[in-house]
Structure 1
Amino acid sequence: MCKRSRIIMAVLLVLLVAGMASAQGVRSTAPTEADNFIPSGTKIVENKITLRGYGSKFAGNAEWDDNMLVWRELEKRTNVRIEWETVVNTEARTKAQTLFAADDLPDLFLKNALNMSDVVKFSASGHLVDLKQYMDAGLMPNFKEAYDNDVNLRIALTTADGKIYTLPAYYPDDIDTTRRFMYVNETWLNRVGKRKPTTLTELYDVLKAFRDLDANGNGDPNDEYPIAFGNVNETEKTARALAGIDDIFGQPFNVINGQLTQMYTSDNMKEAWRFLAKLYAEKYLEPDLFTKTTTEFFARLANDQYGVTLLLPPADSSQFGILEPSFGILGKENVIWNWKVSPLLGVATFAITTKNPYPRETARWIDYLYGDDGSTLVRMGVEGDTYVTNADGSLSYSEKIKSDPQGVEFAMAKYSFWLQPNATPGRYTAKQTLPLFEGTLTPSAIPVFAPYNTKHAYSLPSLPADIERERTTLLGEINKYYSESRAAFMTGKLDIDKDWNIYVTTLKQLKVDRLQEIYRQAYAIVQDALK
């Protein structure tokens, strides 16, 4: 046999042995892509993979890089690395649109970089990956458990053809789905000689005393703000609650005689705005309500300048007590506490793009946040560093977090990405969220407000693309005029009695009744799902 023949025979023998080894289940030292994937457990791949992520980052959040504790730990546990491009949350969606237009997509979007209209649009154009295929294949067991047991998830996320293109910020417990409660400064009450108000007349009497009698006792009778519910939207939403206006699908709709009914032009709305106009005219509300910043609000809250509020000071709230919303504008029995919301605090908080070379690995990665260990990591951080486990099994933030002068949320913003929690994908139960309220009145407020809570806290179901576009367009035009009118009525530029009919007529011209028809379609989908 010649030398060349011997070489050929040697090569063939090597190939034959390799083939036999493969047939007997012996792996090569260099795993294939299929070999690298781990279909269950925390670790997702044998050899680390890197993904390109685009995130919407709240301004107070630390950078999403290797210095952030939670990202480091998540990479360590899953063996998946994410290299992030982050954009401040107020600009993230606009920038995301340019990425789609340029076909320069990341592997995934996280937090509120997209809204539901974007998801509908870009899934139809073939840019987003269907996640339900991975859920059905058993690769997303944590999310599937929640999905199978909560109709809100099914109606909000599932498209007409049975697919799922986005995942939510899911908070199933009452501690999180009642977003605001009312509190009154009891130190102020004692100082001005008043009791907690239980009627509208008593409320006005208390607010007048807070305004006029140096309620905070600092010698300046002009630095108190008797009532402050936050920004103008939060203030008006609370007034609507006291006037018996629900907030179904996030808009002023009530269920009346079984029919979803728009309340933009209702007598209830008229009375809610009359109430706000009185508060503003009497200087019970802040004069800069329409322009004040969140920073200014929290500074005044910490400086003991608020009498009635929806939020408590982050450091010391001992002077406040729970204020039951019994002083309804149209009577106690008509109050609808519309701050009770769907457990989907954010719907479009995560999506995988078709540019992603590892979609099933990414599906496994995000599913980890819907399990107990993953959601605890995101909300609490790492045990022994940012939190401790108590003897009864409950969790508490560590002293370095609780003692931070900025409060727990901003303290954790150095270690995790969950600042702006309604945009953070995952399943977060009272185990992970109650520690935020440790030592506050919030847990005790839940049963006080429960009798007033809305019975219609639904997620908006997925609508056909053309209907969703129409809904978004109408809602934008109507709410723009609505907000302008609200400001004019509150500040006295328009008279609530003389100019009300013009307001109603204009809303009819802006097709508020067509908007009602669209939302009735959504309500019908919900009712069918609940049967």
Structure 2
Amino acid sequence: MKKRLTVLTSVIALGVISACSNSDDASNPDSNNADLVNETGFPIVTEPIELTFFTGKSEPNTNNFEETYVWSTYEDMTDMKINFQLNSFDGLSERRNLVLTSGDYPDAFYSARLTSSDLATYGEQGILIALDEMIEEYAPNFHEALEQHPDMRKGLTMPDGHIYSIPSYYDPSFLPMLIGVPLWIDEEWLAEVGMERPTTTDEFYEFLKAVKDHPTLGEGDAIPFSGTNITEVRGHLQGAWGFGTRGVGHKFIDIDPDTNDLRFFRTEDKYKEFLEYLNKLYTEELLDHEVYTHDSTQLLAKGAAGRLGAVITSNPESLMNQDTFSGGEALEGPYGDKLYSHVKPPLIHVGAFAITNKNEHPEATLRWMDHFYSEEGATFYFMGEEGNTFVENDDGSLDFTELITDNPDGLTQDQALASYVTWLGGSYPGYVQEHYFKGSETLPNAVENGEMAQPDVVEEVWNGFNYTREEQQFRDSVGADLETFINETEDAFITGRKSFDEWDAYVEQVESLGLEEYMSIQAEAYTRYQEADE
């Protein structure tokens, strides 16, 4: 009932917006203040201006963005004062949607997690302005990134052909960042049970079983295998059965490598065998039963206590203070499939930044944002103040100073950074490259994992598809119910609450819940996605 009401509210909101907006605004965003913008350099404008941004905020960041080093310095550089209206990421979508539908929205949305549906809907209605005609002139750095990465343009182009946002984009060559949460195995525990690192799903099972049967590992309280949630477990192991051929951005569809056709893989017979493997891990207590209930904090506590033999997480060294884990290559499945499927799309947040039709200075605002797509701007944004928070080494590499890594006041790295930068917690608009991003994905063990994963990594990673309003309405109703039914039933199969004798009946039920129309919509969206950069 709650889901139905949410969909109904969204549909009503679309009607209200349509009645009070002019869709022609989307293709004609130019303001009357373009002459105030300097073509290059700083300041950006010839006279000071002030703007307000609706801004998403994660917990590590300060409660006053304007006082941080990056924004106070940038205000002086640009002559543009930004008032950041901070909104916690908890409940962000509800507050963002309320602001949009009320009509009382700001000049721009910054780090606000606008979805593709938001961009298509509010862009079509003119509330968010199209950036197409302005990008080449006012955002040369972003324009260069679009030219270098056609997949970015594909993911940003809405069904009406316009681009309404600046994204958070991961460099596709930065594989450890795209993997995000590798499968790690404790090397000391491998030695203790007298085994080499597993290379197949059968060998992985045997290792987990040896951990469970060992009397002293984890002080007798060992958990053979865990992760933050079952979604990440599925995302990693499904590649051993040949699924997830376009990464984990699409959890129900991929490309069949045998036919090169779009495929709904969650009802395949081979996928049933994959679920049977997960069921074996779960029922034999090799997979942590709390993978369905615990949160990331509780998982990290288990790791910090030395209880895990294998774990899916970002980095045990930085998060659990455990330096005995290593990542590795993809596991080979029973049919010879060996695919490193847990690869996230580079276009990680499609709607990280968008400008509204209330903004009297869209050209200046776009130039303001574009600086952070340059090498100089990105280094400034991610690293802070040269000589204070970071240094450039003789070989050109960058490192945080001890003020950040070994803070004299005992602050953690995030706490020490919080007064300088605001990218902590993610969802920021920007271009993430290994050179200037110094998260746990750049630690030696993560880099090594990326090198080992590379030979088996998916050849093409899809960004999210973009849907028309009618398609999105289906996805928010029938499509959402279908996906929820599949996820919940799979959980029942994995945990043994549902017998695999019921598989054929389950497949028939999936087909009866609108699968044909679901795949027709996916096919249309996929066609547009392929054509977006042509």
For normalisation by structure 2, the TM-score amounts to 0.86
Aligned residue number for residue 13 of structure 1: none
1:515 lines up with 2:513 in the alignment = no
Deviation larger for 54-63 or 308-317: 308-317
CA separation of 1:407 and 1:236: change in aligned 2, threshold 3 A: farther
**Which of 273, 276, 279 is the equivalent residue of 1:274?**
276
Identify the match of residue 367 of structure 1 among 361, 366, 370. Answer: 370
For 2:101 and 2:467, the matched residues in 1 are separated by 24
Q: Match of 1:43?
A: 43
Equivalent residue runs for 1:152-191 within 5 Å: 152-172=151-171, 173-175=173-175, 176-191=177-192
Q: Deviations over 1:373-397 (max 9, x none)?
A: 2211222222222222111101112
Show the 5 A alignment for 1:365-514.
Answer: 365-403=368-406, 408=413, 412-421=417-426, 423-433=427-437, 436-495=440-499, 497-514=500-517
1:402 offset after TM fit, Å? 2.4
AA partner of residue 225 (structure 1): I
Per the alignment, residue 10 of structure 1 pairs with none
Q: Distance in 2 between the 1:486 and 1:293 partners?
A: 20
* Amino acid in structure 1 at the alignment position of 2:394: A
Aligned partners of 2:416 and 2:273: how far apart in 1?
Answer: 41
Label 1:479 to 1:416 Cα distance change in 2 as closer, same or farther (>3 A): farther
Percent of paired sites with the same residue: 27
What corresponds to 1:24 in structure 2?
none
Which residue is 1:259 aligned to?
Answer: 261
Task: Decide whether aligned partners of structure 1 residues 215 and 58 sit closer, same or farther in structure 2, where only a CA change above 3 A counts.
Answer: farther
Paired amino acid for 1:183: W
Aligned to 2:340: 337
Contact map agreement 2:51 2:82 (CA 8 A) in 1: yes
Structure 1 pair 34–232 and aligned structure 2 pair: CA distance change class (3 A): closer
Asked whether the 8 Å contact 1:245–1:252 carries over to 2, the reply is no
- Residue equivalent to 1:17: none
Cα RMSD after superposing both structures: 2.4
How much has 1:410 moved relative to structure 2?
6.2
Letter in 2 for 1:479: E
- 1:466 is displaced (CA, Å) by 2.1
Q: 1:55 to 1:435 in 2, by over 3 A?
A: closer
Is residue 55–residue 87 contact of structure 1 (8 Å, CA) maintained in 2? yes
Q: Measured at CA, do residues 408 and 159 of structure 1 come closer, stay the same or move farther in structure 2, by a change above 3 Å? A: same
Please say if residues 168 and 346 of structure 1, whose CA atoms lie closer than 8 Å, have aligned partners that are also in contact.
yes
Distance 1:512 1:325 in 2: 31
Q: Does the 8 A contact of 1:188 with 1:215 survive in 2?
A: no
Q: Which residue of 2 aligns with 1:205?
A: 206
Determine the structure 2 residue equivalent to 1:23.
none
Q: How does 1:11-90 map to 2 (within 5 A)?
A: 36-90=36-90
Q: How many residues align?
A: 492
Separation in structure 2 between the aligned mates of residue 325 and residue 344 of structure 1, nearest angstrom: 23
Residue of structure 2 in register with 1:305 after alignment:
307
Runs of 5+ consecutive residues of structure 2 not aligned to the other structure: 1-31
Q: Which residue of 1 aligns with 2:22?
A: none
Moved more, 144-153 or 235-244: 235-244
Q: Distance in 1 between matches of 2:359 and 2:278?
A: 50
Residue pair 2:44, 2:368 contacting (<8 A) in 1 also: yes
Cα shift at 1:296: 0.9
Paired residue for 1:325, among 307, 310, 330? 330
- Name the stretch that deviates more: 60-69 or 370-379: 60-69
Please state how far the C-alpha of 1:443 moved relative to its aligned partner.
1.2
Worse overlay, 246-255 or 338-347: 246-255
Q: One-letter code of the match for 1:98? A: L
Take 1:171 and 1:113, find their aligned partners in 2: how far apart are those partners?
A: 16
Match of 2:12 in 1: none
Q: Evaluate the alpha carbon distance shift between residue 201 and residue 522 of structure 1 in structure 2; reply closer, same or farther with a 3 A threshold.
A: same
State whether residues 168 and 426 of structure 1, in contact with CA within 8 Å, keep that contact through their aligned partners in structure 2.
Answer: yes
Distance 1:345 1:288 in 2: 28
**CA offset digits 1:486-526 (Å, max 9, x no partner):** 2211221101x212123212211221232222222233334
**Match of 1:345, as an amino acid?**
I
Distance 1:411 1:502 in 2: 56
Match in the other structure for 1:27: none
Aligned equivalent of 1:351, options 354, 364, 373:
354
Tell me how far 1:216 sits from its aligned partner: 4.1
SS class of match (2:52): strand
Residue 436 of structure 2 aligns to a residue whose secondary structure is helix
Q: What secondary structure sits across from 2:526 in the alignment?
A: helix
* Residues 150 and 443 of structure 1: CA distance in aligned 2, closer, same or farther (over 3 Å): same
User: TM-score normalized by structure 1?
Assistant: 0.86
Paired residue for 2:239, among 227, 238, 241? Answer: 241
| Superposition deviation, residue 184 in structure 1 | 0.9
Residue by residue over 1:61-94, the C-alpha shift from the partner in whole angstroms, topping out at 9 and shown as x without a partner, is: 3224333232223323322222122222131111
Deviates more, 1:36-45 or 1:361-370: 36-45
Q: Which amino acid is 2:233 matched to?
A: T
- Flag the 1:34–1:500 CA change in 2: closer, same or farther, 3 A: closer
How far does residue 433 in structure 1 lie from its aligned partner after superposition? 2.4
Amino acid in the other structure paired with 1:187:
E
Q: Which whole-Å deviations, capped at 9, do the CAs of 1:452-505 have from their partners, x for residues lacking one?
A: 21123122343433223333434321221122112211221101x212123212
Q: What is the CA distance between 1:406 and its match in structure 2?
A: 8.3
Deviation at 1:108, TM superposition (A): 0.8
Larger radius of gyration: 1
SS in 2 for 1:163: coil
Are the structure 2 counterparts of residues 438 and 215 from structure 1 closer, same or farther at C-alpha, using a change threshold of 3 Å? farther
Asked whether the 8 Å contact 2:225–2:287 carries over to 1, the reply is yes
Structure 1: gaps of 5 or more residues: 1-31
